[in-house]
Structures are given as C-alpha cells and as structure tokens.
Chain A
Amino acid sequence: MNLHAVGVVYRKELTEWLRDRRTLISTVLVPLLAFPILISGMISLSAVLIGGAKKEVPKIMIIHGEDSPAVVDALKSNKEIEVVPFADNWMDQISDKQIRAAVEIPEGFQASLDKGTTQTIQIHYYEGEIKSEFGAEHVEKSLKAYRDDLVKKRLEAKNLPDTLIAPFDTKQHNVAPPEKVGGSTIGSMIGYMVIILSMTGAIYPAIDLTAGEKERGTMETILSSPVSRLDLVLGKFLLVFSASLTTAILSVTSMGLSFAYMGHALAKTSGAGIHMNLGLTSVVAVFLMALPLSVLFSAVLMTVALFAKTYKEAQSYLTPMTFIVVIPAVASVLPGVELTPKLALIPILNTSLVCKEIITGTYHWGSIATIFASTCVYAAVAIFVAVKIFQRESVLFRS
C-alpha cells in the first residue's frame, strides 16, 4: 500500500465530491434541513390544530337527565361548553362533527344520588378527533367538579373533615439525571438515526465513484495510471466513508438542535418539554460505536455499486439494501428487544442496541468490546472483498 497514492486519490475524489451538487444535496443539505423542517412543521401544525381546538366552545348534547335537573344545570352553567337540545341522531351528529360529545345521564340518577347508590354517566365522543376529545374532556371536568362539590357538601352535612376521603397525598420525584431522562426519551432514536443516516450518506458517493466512473468513461482512464488497485479502492473508500460520517454528524447535530428547540417551544406553550441534555460522552461513544459500522456500509455499498454499469442500475441494486439496514435498526427500538450475547454478533442490530444502552448511561463493557470487535472484523472483510472485486475484469468491464 502506498499512502501517498491513497492520499492523492482521496484528495481528487474530495475535490470532485465537493463540486457535485447532487451529492452535496443528499449528503449535506438534506440531513441539515430535514429535521428543522420536520420539527418546525410539526410544531406549526400542532399549534394550528390544538390552538383551533382549544379556542372552540364545543357543542354538547345531553341524553335523558329530565329527572336529574341538578347535574344538567351544572353542565349548562359551564361556560366552556354549549349545551344544545337533544336529538335522536346524536351519534350521527358526533360523527358528522355537528356536536363534539354527548352526555348520557342514566334514568333516576338524582334519586340514586339521594339514596347514596352509584350510577355511571357515559360520555360519548369520537376518538382520534381532537375537537371531540377536547369536548369530552370539558364535560368530564365539569362532572368531576360537580361530584367534588357534592362530596364536600355531604361531608359538611355530617361534620366530617375533607381529609376523610383524602387521608394522604402522593407526589412523584425524579432522581434520574437529566441526560438519562433525555436518553430514555430519544435515546433509542439517536442510535437508529446515526445508523440509517451513515448509510444514506454513503449511497450517492459509493455509486458516483464506481458505476458513475464506468458510465462517464473515466474508469479506463484511471486504470491506465500506475496507481495500484488497492490504493485506488482505499482512496475511493475513504471518500465514501467521509461522506457517510459527515451525513451522520450533520444529521445528529441538526436533530439535536431541532429537538432542543422543540422541547423549548413545548415547554413554553404547555409546560411539558423534552429534555435534550444528553451527555457529550454518550454522544461521542455512540459515534465511536458507529464508526466500524460506517466502514462496513461504505465498503459494502461500493462493492455492490461496482457491479452496475450505470448510475441507475446501481440505484436499483442499492435500494433493496436500505431495507436490509432499516429492518434490524427498527427492531432494536422495539420495546423488549434487549442486548444478548447472540444479538451482540448480529451487525447493525448490535450497534443499534448498544447505542440505545449508551445513551441511557448504561455501559456493558463486555458487550461493547464484542460489538466493536465483531463490527471491525465485518468491516475489514468488506474492505478486503471490495479490493478483490475491484481487481476482477469481469466486473470492471462488464458488458
């Protein structure tokens, strides 16, 4: 191996890569802009939907209740809802969004209350329809206030204190540090995203440097130079690897900033935010674990793309490969899938699982070493195969 030659090939490929608008869009612009656009879109959409739903005074229909005027009056006195006259087709009206919910008061409800027996009031709504859910929520709040008031009056009538029905309170207190809270919220997603994006970032350069060269007629030009096939493959591989890493780093940075912004925005509007205070050590550890996987992706993608004669043909080969990567990566974020010694040897799935653990602050050094070493071995094999394939005339000059 001649390091000078590898460096010369790499520098040339880097120059061309930086001048290729198509590759730059997929490797730099898309990962940088995708998350901010997605997140700001989600925030805007939810603000419009939730804001609109909150502003509306929902129309509510009362079913029966003629013999229970007190509960009906309690509902009618709530300014946050508008009680409309009863109609037989109340269910259709909820479906057609003419009313948002209906309250069904059982017959003899008031009499049951007076006797001290329990009856159930049903609130009919349309699940998944946000305005209907808000309407049902208002009705429930109103009925709960009526019930609390009733309990209070009953206790007072018997000269009993409020504490009789609430002898003690409970309060949750979180002891997990903020990075672990953040980790559990988006931890599994970070590892998943690093893996997926380090692959997508490698696709276009891998095609451009192999099938692209064949299609443009420059493959024969470079093969006539004294550079060895090994140095040529390594120079090209380093560029694909750089692109893969660049995409992953830009994506995670962009995703982190977008999540932080979203957390801040949500905290401002609803008081509930997403903690993004992930430890730098965890993020660096995730990248270190993803490095050999990125090497593996770069080498495999280059090898597969080299079989193609044209850019389009290479794309058709690499598209199914995306699924091969997505499936284990998705499997790792499913609840209940945990890292085991056997799973630690399955590429992609193992890295995705260990990244999930690292982000949540768990370091199983034995598993980490196994996964890092096994992925390094897979990556080395992939590079070896890439070099061998690059020496096959039947692949380079396929007709």
Chain B
Amino acid sequence: MIEARSLSKRFQDKKRGEIRAVDKVTFSCEPGKIYGLLGANGAGKTTTLRMLATILEPTDGTATINGFDVVEHPEKVRANVGFLSTATALYPRLTAQEMVEYFGRLNGLDEPTLKKRIEDIFSRLDMNGFRDRRCDKLSTGMKQKTSIARTLVHDPPVMIFDEPTTGLDVMTARTIIGFIADCRDRGKTVIFSTHIMSEVERLCDHIGIIHGGKLLEEGTLAELRAKHNEHNLEEIIVKVVGPLANAEA
C-alpha cells in the first residue's frame, strides 16, 4: 500500500531561486493495482517516486509505504520497496549473480534463503545463461533482467518504476511490461511513470496526471475518459495540462 499525503519537495537553485518540484501531492495505491504517474519532462514524476523510495527526503508532507513512514523509517521503507529506473545502473565489475546477491545481503537475507531466491528468479527470468558474466559485458536486455532480479530479490510488497522502458528496444520493453503486470498479479502494489500511452492503457488501474509539481487529475482510465469526453489518453493529458503549459509559455 502506498499513501502520499501533501508530499512536497522544494529545491534551491542559484539562478532560479526556490523551485517547487513537487507541491502537495496526495494519492494512494492499493496492493494488486498499478498506479500510473503521467506528465511531461520536469513535471515532478521522478522527484515524487524518489521521495517514495526515500532516495530524497520530502520538504513537507509525507508518505507511507506498507505502513512505514518515509521520513520516520526510511530504511524500513526501502526494505519494502523494489525501485527501478533508467538511472539505477548495475555495478560493471560484478557478475549478474554477484549484483543480485549483493542486494539480497543488504536486505538482510540469510544465505540459504538468498540462494533459493536467486535460483527461483534466475530461472523465472531465464538468466542462467549469463549469471556469471560481468555486468559491463551484458546486452541491454540482460542488464534490464539483472536490474529486475535486483529489485525482486527481497520480494518487496511495493514496486516503484521510473520510466523503466525509456530508451529500450521493443523486445526488452516487452520484458519489462510483462514483469510489471506479473508484479500486479502477485498482489504487489505498483506505481510507475512513463511517457508511453500504450503502456498506461495496457497496465494502469489508476492514473495521476502531474504538471508543475501538482497532481492535476486522478482517476481510472474509464473515469478520465468519461470526465473529458475523450477516448485518446494523449488528448486527455493535453486537455488537462495544456492550459497551464500554454500559460507558462
């Protein structure tokens, strides 16, 4: 379960002064559901997801992940989260197996459990052919699978994906999409951000549209279509964000 309450983040910029990257964002996401966070570049998606993953600390407001407060218990939150983004790279000099083992140990798994988990995940993701290959020698697809294994090794109840398919080829992107759907089917709470509307339409149970750090619109795909009398999700986003974006321009 994810619950964000008035989650805010301000940054100080020497040239631009104070920047409200995320401004009082409130939403919730339930187990077995996928929440899609949509918005243009710089809208505040990544900052929101980083705060949920406790990589950044909120300036105001808070969020709970599986009952743990992101400000009060960041380490417990991280133990309950699997975080994957295009910025979460792999250690080049470790093998795929060492990479996953490292994160298993950091999550406090004992050796027999870790071994069992790795065998299970590596078989499920078809990774046995490259488990002993160094990460800097892996193809993009292999790297993505290793990253997925890294996020899954401690079997977290909450998964956070920040534009996980950006820059990937069709086949690798399909693997990721399949993996996200699988997480939902296993009862995990999933939140992800993307620019690709087909992914949202295919996966998301709930959608939030964010712009200028504010959550402007929220609901199921059906609710948004009905409210804006528009079937195309891209058009819905333009309708929600467009007036504000034009005013800023």
Contacts and interface: CB of A to CB of B under 8 A. Distances in A.
B161 to A, nearest CB: 12
B90 A218 contact: yes
B79 interface: yes
A16 B87 contact: no
Instruction: Give the 9 A-B CB pairs with smallest separation, nearest first.
Output: A217-B89, A224-B83, A226-B79, A226-B78, A221-B88, A19-B93, A16-B93, A225-B106, A8-B105
A16 B91 contact: yes
Given A225-B78, A397-B56, A5 B106 contact: yes
B85 interface: yes
B199 interface: no
A37 to B, nearest CB: 28
A225 B107 CA distance: 7
Contacts of B56: 393, 397
6 contacts: A5-B106, A8-B106, A15-B94, A216-B92, A221-B88, A221-B91
Interface of B: 12, 53, 55-57, 75-76, 78-79, 81, 83, 85, 87-94, 98, 102-103, 105-108, 134, 150
Interface string A263-293: 0000000000000000000000000000000
A223 interface: yes
Contacts of A228: 75
A220 interface: yes
A130 B83 CA distance: 71
A12 interface: yes
A221 B79 CA distance: 13
Contacts of B89: 216-218, 220-221
A20 interface: yes
B106 A226 contact: yes
Contacts of B81: 224
Contacts of B85: 220
Contacts of B108: 4, 226
A32 B93 CA distance: 24
Contacts of B90: 218, 221
Contacts of A226: 75-76, 78-79, 106-108
Contacts of A216: 89, 91-92
B74 to A, nearest CB: 8
A19 B98 CA distance: 13
A260 interface: no
Interface string A129-150: 0000000000000000000000
A224 B91 contact: no
Contact of B94 (A16, A220, A223): A16
B131 to A, nearest CB: 16
Contacts of B91: 12, 16, 216, 218, 221
Contacts of A397: 56
